[in-house]
Amino acid sequence: MSNIDWSKTQFETRAIHDGQEPEEQTGAVIVPIYQTSTYAQTGVGEHKGFEYARTDNPTRTALQTSIASLEGGEWGLAYGSGMAAIQNILYMLVPGDHVLMSDDAYGGTFRLIDKIFARYGIEYSMVDLSDLDQVREGLRDDTKMVITESPTNPYLKIVDIAGVSNLMRERYGEPTGEALAWEAGTRDFQLTRPVLLVDNTFASPYLQTPLAHGADLVVHSATKYLGGHSDVVLGLVIGNDPSIQRFMKFHQNAAGAVPGPFDCWLVLRGLKTLGIRMREHSANAMRIAEWLKQDPAVKEVYYPGLPDHHNHEVAARQMRAFSGMVSFSVHGGWESASRVVAATKVFTLAESLGGVESLIEHPGQMTHLSTAGSKAEVGDDLIRLSVGIEHIDDLIADLEQALEVASPAGAVAD
């Protein structure tokens, strides 16, 4: 197996094998959980590639190799959570730098930038990044980072990743050399050009590979689809630029935002079935989105797989399928929405997403509460579904009875 060039194999094969060859000492076909904090050294500074578990761990290394392969990147780094990963990326900014981000940003990302990094002189503005005209107008001379998701959370907007990348090239020139000027270990550093960061959590690398469309960095909350079983919290960053990798690796080791080996092992296990899970998630979500369109209690459905979605053509071009996330608004505002999310029996009322089980939530009062009063504020009538892989008939029946509870016959208008 060691002679195989995994880059020439298909996604499902790489997810099972790349970076995960049988362990040499025993022949174990699954990467072991190296549950150790330190490693024996034969002499001072003489070791087998590992010296302390905050710096590196073989199970983490296997995960980083695997996710880089699946995203088509040169390297990957694993973190204790998705937000720890984004925090480490933001360390590349210095006071006075400007960030352009989506007006439909995940609440945790918005909170991190607005409530923490803005304290230290990082400026930001928000536009609809699914509208390239707004992107063009939003870019500034001092913009150093563009942060987006596609699909976005929670309105499932689709951002034309290649289109945004092209606009950045038009404004700032073709990228040449390394993106970060930094001498390792020093305090002086700066981004030599703006970088495009894409949060690929909602799509997963099975459905979309942003680096292939011009992104500089990809981030995942591996807690979601990559882990796939709602039993782990972990973040991942993937890229090609070696200067960014060196910088982020140094800061990760210095600040300690690392995952444990068991968490890395759980995500490796999840990656092995990612392809078949994403196909089922996507198929179920499409059926539910189509069904919701005809329910009189539903005001609007947000799903990029629907032909009337604003950027459906872009989604069809840059995604293999349309993922398992569906959002919809209901007539009756907060009162109706709160009754719907409380009435489901198969869908569990809970935050997070991407597990095999179906979840339902009210973003405005749950995952996106931190955006209240901002440009990214979420409507009180919005409901978000993470569609699992249960039987589609049971899922639709559950939503049907919940919508009947929330909206008595005839009460279909606000």
Residues catalogued as catalytic: 54, 106, 199, 224
Question: In 3D, which of 232, 189, 231, 225 has the Cα closest to residue 207?
Answer: 225
| Phi and psi angles of residue 264, each rounded to the nearest 5 degrees, phi first | -60, -40
Distance CA(17)–CA(6), nearest Å, equals 8
Using an 8 Å Cβ cutoff, are 192 and 202 in contact?
A: no
The span from the CA of 163 to the CA of 234, in Å, is 30
Burial of 97 (0-12, 13-18, 19+ CB in 10 A): buried
332 close to 381: Cβ distance less than 8 angstroms: yes
In sequence order, the β-bridge partners of residue 155 are none
Output the six-digit token pair for 202: 């909602």
Tally the C-alpha atoms within 13 A of residue 299's C-alpha that lie toward its C-beta.
Answer: 17
Neighbouring residues of 174: CB distance < 8 A, sequence distance ≥ 6: none
Structure tokens at 399: 């939503």
Give dist(CA 229, CA 224) in Å, integer: 8
Name the amino acid, one letter, at 186. Answer: T
Residue 267 CB neighbours (<10 A): 27
